[in-house]
A = this chain, B = another copy of it.
Amino acid sequence: MNLTRRTELRRMPSRGAHDSDAINEILDAGFLASVGFCKDGQPFVIPTLYGRKAEKLYFHGSAASRLLCELETGTPACVTVTLVDGLVLSRSAFDHSMNYRSVVAFGRARTIAEPVQKIEALRVISEHLIAGRWMDVRGPSENELKVTKVLEFSIEEASSKVRSGPPLDDDGDYRLAVWAGVLPLVMKSESPIPDKQLVEGIEIPEYVRNYDARLSSPAQNRRNAR
């Protein structure tokens, strides 16, 4: 990945990184991206699921999706993933902050038309979201493949930004009688809701029951507890 002014970290460069490991760790922890493109000077930002393999991200959707139809032209795109880790509550309004991890990636996308590659990209997206599911379900039919668009986004440049740890107050504020600290925020799963028409005797798969292991990252917990 390259580094130019696009990904130069102007604010709080100490919170930022350009190395692939840090970037990939965040991309792998998340599954929802906000994807931006420009059309006649108008920005559009559309949420979409993704999967990652090396320095490629994969998107999919209806063949009629506006996002995918724009991206497949090869227009410059920006993919942003943000994970919220907690509220940072300081003694002054000014020093409030958020613990988070984010990646901003620049690149371009192309359509994957070849069926074997297309199915493989769909598998990558599915396994990224919920590993183990792909093997359990009916795979895509020829017609389903036809009405699905799959894009490969090549990351040309990316940066990550992380804020973690306790609030940092002005020296003079530590004497204030105000509660301060971190309120950790995490995404969790709740009890699975079985479909009403399940074939009898089917148990909830392990990858559904233990989905919180997919959602939590030890690194995140370490940071909040610092």
Binding site for B on A (CB under 8 A): 6, 10-11, 32, 34-38, 41-47, 49, 61-62, 64-66, 76-80, 82, 84, 87, 89-94, 96, 98, 100, 102, 104, 106, 122, 126, 129-130, 133-134, 136-141, 144, 148, 166-167, 173-199, 202-205, 208, 211, 215, 224-225
Contacts and interface: CB of A to CB of B under 8 A. Distances in A.
B191 A188 contact: no
A81 to B, nearest CB: 9
A180 B195 contact: yes
A203 B179 contact: yes
Contact of A66 (B10, B136, B137, B188): B10
A106 B44 CA distance: 8
Contact of A199 (B104, B144, B175): B175
Given A36-B43, A45-B45, A181-B198, A138 B93 contact: yes
Chain A's interface: helix, strand, loop or mixed, by majority?
mixed
A182 B174 contact: no
A91 B137 CA distance: 5
B187 A199 contact: no
Given A93-B140, A187-B186, A198-B181, A78 B44 contact: yes
28 contacts: A6-B42, A32-B82, A34-B47, A34-B80, A36-B36, A36-B43, A36-B78, A38-B43, A41-B76, A43-B44, A45-B80, A46-B104, A47-B80, A47-B100, A49-B98, A87-B130, A93-B126, A93-B138, A167-B195, A174-B197, A180-B198, A181-B194, A183-B211, A184-B192, A185-B187, A186-B189, A187-B188, A190-B224
B11 A62 contact: yes
Nearest to A9: B66
Contacts of A106: 42
A11 B66 contact: yes
Question: Which residue of A90, A173, A199 has the most chain B CB atoms within 10 A of its CB atom?
Answer: A199
A98 to B, nearest CB: 7
B137 A178 contact: yes
